[in-house]
Amino acid sequence: MDEKAELKVAGKSYFFPVITGSENEKAVDFSKLRDQTGYITYDPGYGNTGACSSAITFIDGEKGILRYRGIPIEDLAEKSTFVETSYLLIYGHLPTKVELEDFRTKLTYHSMIHESMLRFFDGYPSSAHPMCILSSMVSSLSAYYPELLDPVSDEQVDALVPRVLSKIRTIAAYSYKKSIGQPVIYPVNALNYCANFLHMMFAVPSEPYEVDPDVVDTLNTLLILHADHEQNCSTSTVRLVGSSHANLFASVSAGISALWGPRHGGANQAVVEMLEQIHRNGGDVKAAVTAAKDRDSKFLLMGFGHRVYKSYDPRAAIIRRHCDRLLSKQKVKDPLLDIAKRLEETALSDPYFKERNLYPNVDFYSGLIYRALGIPTNMYTVMFSLGRLPGWIAHWREMHQSSDSSRIGRPRQVYTGETISPYVPIEAR
Ligand code: SDX
């Protein structure tokens, strides 16, 4: 018999279907709650709300498990490339050789942006954060593809997906070049996705630039680790914006804006700024932990805590290992890595953090590894955006293909304002 949940309200019983996911997670289907009872659910921050069903990513926050399309993140980080993982997330299966080659070719040949867009960059002050440039430029891309913007046309979406993945990478690199006053470096078709990005970031016209294969490998791993995380704030934003049938560029641009906040992807920049501050203060990690526990201070340990993980974020563990490996290979001793490790140790042995299950999240070590790759601090969240792109696209596409998400996203509210009030003329106020 199908499982039902009973709700007793105002002396009456109502029954609602229970949905079970493929990993046995349970949800009560309240989609008919208001129709049947006149009540709505109330869940600020959506901590208990399933906004959709999805077959893309599975997280078990208690056990620290993360899988894309069923494949453990550890295996993908070790064996896959970012391009292959993007294909997996977006199209639902690991590509065959032919499918992968076709996808790679499309990414290669859609990497340039319209030349007139280069002038847009000149309009920004040199102090502009690359995230604001990125979100505006991505939104502007829709001006150049009016024939590919119909979200319910499979043909148009399929043509658009590689363009979005490839051109946003180019814009990300250009936004950095413009911020340091260097000429942009055009994409090179002979280079793969990550090598091409590094080349656009670090080459200059006056001398040859060799892309380091170790750096390419590390970048692939980092982007894979960021590629999706089910219904996080930016992905939910992309879905919500997309539910109005806004085009893919507009939806992704909104996702970039959501990611920028320091409670979400912006935390990777905030972590390194926090570590630098601790370093300047003599490396006192205990003082930082004490400040983070003080309810009257606004200070939080950036890169700590997570809505879903109540154990160690598996991505943070992988990034920490890569960070150690890369720095020892480069024979670099970064004092901030030492501070980060001592901070983690101190926080994890503190009752405040233990009781609240606060562990390092994906943003805690990622900034340090970008630093080791030579990527500047204000580009860290741009790097997160590049990584998260396939996840945003996969969710946007899944939403348009799924029957249960065919309605516009539109939460309700519990109104707490004035009841009906007279309009008072200005002279009488
Ligand atoms: C990402 O959702 C995703 O999947 C996101 C992400 C992805 O891949 O998309 O994983 C990427 O966004 C990682 C998170 C990056 N943000 C930070 O590192 C910023 C610092 N952390 C937080 O502000 C916070 O932990 C959140 C936003 C990550 C989670 O917020 P929640 O789930 O709403 O938790 P909460 O704020 O209600 O915290 C619960 C308790 C509170 O204390 P009490 O009121 O119960 O006494 O824990 C405390 C909080 O004050 N707390 C912290 C803390 N994080 C939570 N205290 C000190 N330092 C912290 N970092």
The answer to whether 199 is a known catalytic residue is: no
Write the CA distances from 314 to 225, 264, 298, 328, 417, integer angstroms.
Answer: 9, 17, 28, 22, 44
Condensed to tens digits (0 to 9), the pLDDT of residues 369-384 reads 999 998 999 999 999 9
For atom 39 of ligand 1, the residue with the nearest CA is 356
pLDDT band at 25 (very low <50, low <70, confident <90, very high): very high
Residue 41 is encoded by which pair of tokens?
A: 């659910």
- Nearest-atom number in ligand 1 for the CA of 305 is 25
Q: Give the residue, by CA position, lying nearest to ligand 1 atom 30.
A: 307
Cα–Cα dist 170/426, whole Å: 55
Residue nearest to atom 28 of ligand 1 (CA): 306
Residues facing residue 71 across a β-bridge:
68
Q: Each residue of 289-305: pLDDT tens digit? A: 999 999 888 899 999 99
Mean pLDDT of 90-97: 98
Closest ligand 1 atom, CA of 364?
A: 18
Locate the ligand 1 atom nearest the alpha carbon of residue 259 and give its number. 12
The predicted model gives 223-236 an average pLDDT of 98
Ligand 1 neighbours (beta carbon < 6 A): 45, 229, 232, 263-265, 267, 292, 300-308, 356, 358, 361-363
Determine the atom of ligand 1 nearest the C-alpha atom of 265.
Answer: 12
pLDDT in tens, 161-170: 999 999 999 9
Select which of 306, 322, 395, 400 is catalytic. Answer: 306
If pLDDT is split at 50, 70 and 90, which confidence band does 217 have?
Answer: very high
Give the residue, by CA position, lying nearest to ligand 1 atom 3: 232
Mutate-to-test residue for ligand 1 from 298, 301, 304, highest number of ligand atoms within 8 A of CB: 304
pLDDT at position 157 is 96
Q: Say how many Å lie between the CA of residue 352 and the centre of ligand 1.
A: 13
pLDDT tens per residue, range 344-357? 999 999 999 999 99
Contacts of 411 (CB under 8 A, 6+ apart): none
What's the one-letter identity of residue 374?
G
Name which residue sits closest to atom 32 of ligand 1, judged by CA: 307
Say if strands 12-20 and 26-28 run parallel, antiparallel, or are unpaired: antiparallel
Q: How far away, in angstroms, is 310 Cα from ligand 1 center?
A: 11
Pocket test for ligand 1, best of 263, 348, 365 (most atoms within 8 A of CB): 263
DSSP-assigned letter for residue 59: E
pLDDT value of position 330: 86
Say whether pLDDT at 1 is over 70. no
Q: What is the mean pLDDT of residues 17-41?
A: 97
Contact indicator for 275, 302 with CB cutoff of 8 Å: no
CA of 61 to the centre of ligand 1 (A): 13
Nearest atom within ligand 1 for CA of residue 304? 60
User: Among residues 176, 126, 193, which one has the least CA distance to residue 376?
Assistant: 176
What pLDDT is recorded for position 405? 61
Mean per-residue pLDDT, 69-75: 98
Q: Are 69 and 89 in contact (CB under 8 A)?
A: yes
* 184 neighbors 177 (Cβ within 8 angstroms): yes
What does DSSP assign to residue 128?
-
Confidence class for position 332, pLDDT limits 50, 70, 90: confident
- Note if 363 is an active site residue: yes
70: three-class secondary structure by DSSP: coil
**Confidence band of 35 (pLDDT split at 50, 70, 90):** very high
Chain-wide mean pLDDT for the chain? Answer: 96
> Residue range 247-253: average pLDDT?
98
142 pLDDT exceeds 90?
yes
Q: Is the pLDDT of residue 127 over 80?
A: yes
Question: Residue of the nearest CA to atom 13 in ligand 1?
Answer: 264
